[in-house]
A and B are shown apart, each in its own frame.
Chain A
Amino acid sequence: MNFDWFVLPFSIGLFLLFILVIFKISFWIRQLPLNDRLLLNKGIFSLKILRVIKEVILESLLHLRIFKINPLLGFMHMSFAFGWFMLIAIGNLESRMYAGTELNLPYYPIFFKFFIHKPLEIPFAEGFTFIMDFFLLLVLSGVLIAFSKRIYSKIVGLKRTTKLKAFDIFAMLSLWLIFPLRLFAESSAAGMYHTGGFMTQPIGNAFAGFLPLDTLSYIFWWAYSISLGVFFVCLPYSRYMHIPTEIILIAFRHFGIHRSKEYDIFKDVEVFSCSRCGICIDKCQLNTMAQVTNIQSAYFIKSIRKKNQQEEIVQNCLICGRCQEFCPVGIKTDDLRLSQRMIFENKENANFNYLPPQTPIKTEVLYFAGCMTHLTPSIKLSMVNILKNSKIPFKFMDEEESICCGRPLMLSGNTKDAQKLMQANIEIICSSQAHTLVTSCPICLRIFKEEYNLNINVLHHSQFIENLITEGKIRVQTSTKTISYHDPCDLGRGLGIYDEPRSILAHTGTLLKNNFEKNNSLCCGGSIANNQNYNLNKDKISKQVIEHLSSKNPDIIATACPLCKKTFVKYSDIRVADIAEIVNEQMILLHSS
Chain B
Amino acid sequence: MIDFGYKIQADRQINLDTTDKDLANFVRKHENSFNICIGCGTCTASCSAGNFTNFNFRKLQLFICRGEIADVKTEIAKCMLCGKCQLACPRGVNTRNVIMTIRKGLEEQL
Contacts and interface: CB of A to CB of B under 8 A. Distances in A.
A480 interface: no
B104 to A, nearest CB: 9
Interface in B75-110: 76-84, 86-88, 92, 94, 96-97, 100, 103, 107
Contacts of A151: none
Contacts of A351: 74, 77-78
Nearest to A539: B92
Please classify the interface of chain A as helix (H, G, I), strand (E, B), loop, or mixed, using the class held by over half of its residues.
loop
Contacts of A528: 83, 86, 96
B94 A371 contact: no
A531 B96 contact: yes
A433 to B, nearest CB: 25
A375 B52 CA distance: 17
A563 B96 CA distance: 15
A58 interface: no
B68 interface: no
A402 B49 CA distance: 9
B100 A404 contact: no
Nearest to A566: B87
A554 to B, nearest CB: 24
Nearest to B73: A349
A2 interface: no
B56 interface: no
Contacts, number: 78
A345 B100 contact: yes
B33 interface: yes
B15 interface: no
B48 interface: yes
Given A375-B84, A528-B83, A531-B100, A352 B92 contact: no
Given A375-B88, A404-B82, A535 B94 contact: yes
A198 interface: no
Contacts of B97: 531-533
Contacts of A345: 100
A354 interface: yes
Contacts of B22: none
Given A349-B103, A350-B80, A412 B48 contact: no
A352 to B, nearest CB: 7
A354 B96 CA distance: 20
Interface in B10-42: 31-33
Given A349-B103, A403-B48, A533-B31, A414 B81 contact: yes
Given A533-B31, A533-B94, A535-B92, A412 B80 contact: no
Contacts of B88: 375
B83 A408 contact: yes
Contacts of A27: none
A404 B48 contact: yes
A450 interface: no
User: Which of A345, A356, A531 has the largest number of chain B CB atoms within 10 A?
Assistant: A531
Contact of A356 (B32, B49, B52, B107): B52
Given A400-B51, A403-B80, A531-B96, 17 more contacts: A350-B77, A350-B79, A350-B80, A354-B52, A356-B52, A371-B48, A371-B84, A375-B46, A402-B51, A403-B48, A404-B81, A408-B83, A414-B81, A417-B81, A526-B87, A531-B97, A534-B94
Interface of B: 31-33, 46, 48-49, 51-53, 74, 76-84, 86-88, 92, 94, 96-97, 100, 103, 107
